[in-house]
Amino acid sequence: MPEKNNPKNGFSRRHFLKTATLIGCSALASNLSCSPKVIEKNMTGDHPESLKGRFEPMPSPWFKETARDNLQCTLCPKACELEDGDRGVCKVRENKKGEGFTLAYGNPALVQEDPIERKPFYHVHPASRVLSICTVGCNLQCKFCEVWDIALVSPEDVHVFDLPPEAAIDHARSSHVKAISYAFAEPVVFYEYMSDIATLAKNAGLLNLIHTAGYIQPEPLRLLCGKVDAANVDLKSFDQDFYNTVVGGELEPVLNTIKTLHRAGVHLEITNLIIPTLNDDMDKIREMCTWLVDELGPDVPLHFSRFYPLYQLSALPRTPVSTLDQARSIAMEAGLNYVYIAKVIGHEGENTLCPACGETLIKRLGFVVEDNRIEDGRCGFCQAPIPGLWA
């Protein structure tokens, strides 16, 4: 008898091995890069060499002139001031003879289908699949970057797709996914491309999901809020020194982004990667959790993610599971109702529990949903409302 792919009860078993392989990649230790594989062939079947480093500069509105006749990027808090020929920290925004351009439009370095749980979204259409898209570039320089060979390189350095927004929508429709996810590398740096796809996706009945570090200026964020259905924001620490020395940015703009998304009614989930010796101070984690409850309420899902040694932090150990357990206990004591553990397959923290009756509503094994007892946005046992974007 053929296997069934029941959206109520998760993926069919034929997806399990493929999914487990993806999980295993994220769980590798040592100095190996675990980043998603760059696509080796573009959508039209051309040889990849013809698209290596392909970019056609696209004028961007997110620049302004300075008193010194340079251009200043107004997209993110870095506010890079560029002389003619200069590029910003992200490596994809450039001053060309006094006009500001993006080099990250229509040339994604990664296009692939993923389980939505990988994003990670645990309160958005469980067991559905999404089309993930990202280009080269990032406006931060995290020393623990999991996709450094996409995010922290120049557009000349990688093979890419030739995928204009209309083609992205066609691909999503033909793949029968529920959403387009702008993730892996930082979607803020390909803002114009993301925004144009998102407009078309919304008209096509697709959800728009972003996984972002939240390092963006208020005005472009405000415009994006009208197009995005759900956001997972990496709150990398609640310590400004950590942001300065390990991330290459500031904490305050990220907190402002989180508050703006919440006020705009965008479904919000938070991810916090816990790195041994660097951001595993439980007092800071308690401070962060208290802030989340005070600013967002008790129902925002929080994902504590396990660190694995890679990139510039390959000498550090994996996060002990006991550290993740302690952080989860602190978050629940602070009043958060949905606290998850990521990258520890089989941990009870992968599951969604009803805060009213305590029953297990969604049982997960890695990216596989084994059971789903949420019915019309309510607990299937006690009928308590469960916040999220459900069927």
Q: Which of 179, 177, 185, 188 is nearest to 109 (CA)?
A: 185
Q: What is the pLDDT of residues 191-210, one digit of tens each?
A: 999 999 999 999 999 999 99
Q: What backbone phi and psi angles, to 5 degrees, belong to 91?
A: 75, 5
Helices (H) and strands (E) in the chain, counts: 9, 19
**pLDDT for residue 14:** 41
**pTM for the predicted model, two decimal places:** 0.88
Q: What is the pLDDT of residues 61-112, one digit of tens each?
A: 999 999 889 999 999 999 999 999 999 999 999 999 999 999 999 999 999 9
Question: Stretch 331-355: mean pLDDT, rounded?
Answer: 98
Residue 329 neighbours by CB under 8 Å, 6+ apart:
none
Evaluate whether 229 touches 267 at the Cβ level (below 8 Å).
yes
**pLDDT for residue 230:** 98
**pLDDT for residue 55:** 87
Interaxial angle between packed helices 191-203 and 218-225, expressed in degrees from 0 to 180 and rounded to the nearest 10? 20
**pLDDT for residue 13:** 39
Task: Tell whether the model's pLDDT for residue 301 goes beyond 80.
Answer: yes
**Residue 28: pLDDT band by 50, 70, 90 thresholds?**
very low
Q: What is the pLDDT of residues 227-281, one digit of tens each?
A: 999 999 999 999 999 999 999 999 999 999 999 999 999 999 999 999 999 999 9
Distance CA 102, CA 246 (A): 26
Q: Which of 233, 18, 44, 225 is nearest to 129 (CA)?
A: 18
Distance CA 146, CA 152 (A): 10
Mean pLDDT of the chain: 89
Task: Tell whether the model's pLDDT for residue 60 goes beyond 50.
Answer: yes
**pLDDT for residue 49:** 54
Domains of the chain: 50-102 (no CATH), 235-350 (3.20.20.70)
Evaluate whether 136 touches 102 at the Cβ level (below 8 Å).
no
Between 10 and 387, the more confident residue is 387
Structure token digits, residue 53:
């480093």
Task: Tell whether the model's pLDDT for residue 153 goes beyond 50.
Answer: yes
**pLDDT for residue 285:** 98
Question: Stretch 109-117: mean pLDDT, rounded?
Answer: 97
